[in-house]
């Protein structure tokens, strides 16, 4: 099988490359260190024929603070997808299947349990809304060109040297300043990046939209303990709920510059989990539990 993989230098993309190279010929596309050097946000690529295209390139892991930073999400996630599809058409390199790496952020939820793929897509933030637009574009294009379309909506991705909030959590535990809030009992969906890589070819053959999780949904206390043990650190301390509420209200008074406020407290202390039963039934999805398999 010939595969074109975008975003091959990113956290997930590099793992996809590593796993897929064992069973297919993988052509990488990225802004650097790839076979095809291309910035999809501003360039239309010239592509060879491939059986499968996996679009993993995207912008995440940051909170935009300026109009330019907001626009960057749409340039990378929407315009980048549009340029990739245009490149396929101009190169006459239509694949049999197309896999788009999306996010559970498209649901636009800060809390909820067992959220299914049929849930409304209500994201209003730049990341989530740009992913919605890209999903719709990919689906329409695949329908028009008779290409099998697969969309994978991923929660927190776990793997060696992760970016974003998980990477910051590991760093804080390493340096000894991480603390759980209100017992750290809020459950969050997450999934091992390696398990995502292993299911992609199967998913590309079936098509459809799927949430992928580890099925267990660890809480912060469990996850921080898992990390601390690997780092040979003591288990993180806990900030009582009453103290967290006081800190949050102080943050509310300080305004936008405060690192912690009532909104962030509600987000941290609420469960947010997603239902992956559709993937288990259709794809035979049977992932590892993050707490058992995660290696920093």
Residue 265, pLDDT > 90, answer no
Q: Binning pLDDT at 50, 70 and 90, where does residue 197 land?
A: very high
Nearest to 14, CA basis, from 178, 168, 284, 196: 196
Enumerate the domain spans of the chain: 2-159+190-215+273-293
Q: Name the CATH topology of 2-159+190-215+273-293.
A: Rossmann fold (3.40.50)
What are the pLDDT digits (tens) for 83-128? 999 999 999 999 999 999 999 999 999 999 999 999 999 999 999 9
pTM as predicted:
0.94
The pair of structure tokens assigned to 296 is: 């920093």
Residue 241, pLDDT > 80, answer yes
Task: Identify the pLDDT of residue 13.
Answer: 97
Instruction: Quickly list DSSP for 38-88.
Output: --TTT-PPP----SEEEE-----S----SHHHHHHHHIIIIIHHHHHHHHH
Q: Binning pLDDT at 50, 70 and 90, where does residue 259 land?
A: confident
Nearest to 176, CA basis, from 221, 244, 233: 233
- Report d(CA 243, CA 57) in Å as an integer: 40
- Report d(CA 133, CA 77) in Å as an integer: 8
């Amino acid at each position: 099988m010939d595969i074109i993989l975008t975003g091959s230098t990113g956290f997930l993309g590099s793992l996809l490359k590593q796993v897929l190279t064992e069973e297919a010929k993988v052509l990488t596309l990225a802004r650097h260190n790839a076979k095809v050097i291309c910035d999809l946000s501003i360039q239309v690529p010239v592509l060879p024929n491939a059986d499968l295209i996996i679009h993993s390139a995207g912008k995440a892991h940051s909170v935009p603070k300026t109009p330019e930073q907001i626009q960057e999400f749409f340039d990378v996630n929407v315009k980048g997808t549009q340029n990739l599809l245009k490149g396929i058409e101009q190169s006459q390199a239509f694949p049999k299947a197309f896999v788009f790496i999306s996010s559970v952020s498209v649901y636009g939820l800060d809390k909820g349990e067992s959220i299914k793929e049929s849930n409304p897509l209500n994201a209003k933030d730049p990341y989530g809304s740009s992913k919605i637009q890209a999903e719709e574009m990919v689906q329409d294009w695949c329908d028009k060109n008779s290409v099998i379309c697969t969309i994978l909506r991923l929660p927190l991705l776990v793997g060696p040297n992760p970016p974003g909030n998980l990477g910051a959590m590991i760093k804080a535990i390493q340096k000894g300043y991480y603390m759980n809030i209100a017992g750290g009992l809020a459950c969050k969906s997450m999934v091992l990046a390696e398990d995502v890589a292993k299911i992609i070819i199967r998913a590309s053959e079936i098509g459809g939209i799927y949430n992928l999780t580890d099925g267990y949904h660890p809480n912060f206390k469990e996850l921080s303990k898992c990390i601390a043990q690997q780092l040979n650190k003591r288990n993180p301390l806990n900030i009582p709920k009453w103290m967290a509420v006081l800190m949050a209200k102080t943050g509310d008074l300080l305004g936008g510059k405060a690192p912690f406020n009532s909104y962030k407290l509600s987000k941290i202390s609420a469960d947010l989990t997603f239902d992956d039963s559709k993937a288990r039934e259709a794809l035979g999805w049977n992932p590892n539990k993050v707490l058992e398999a995660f290696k920093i």
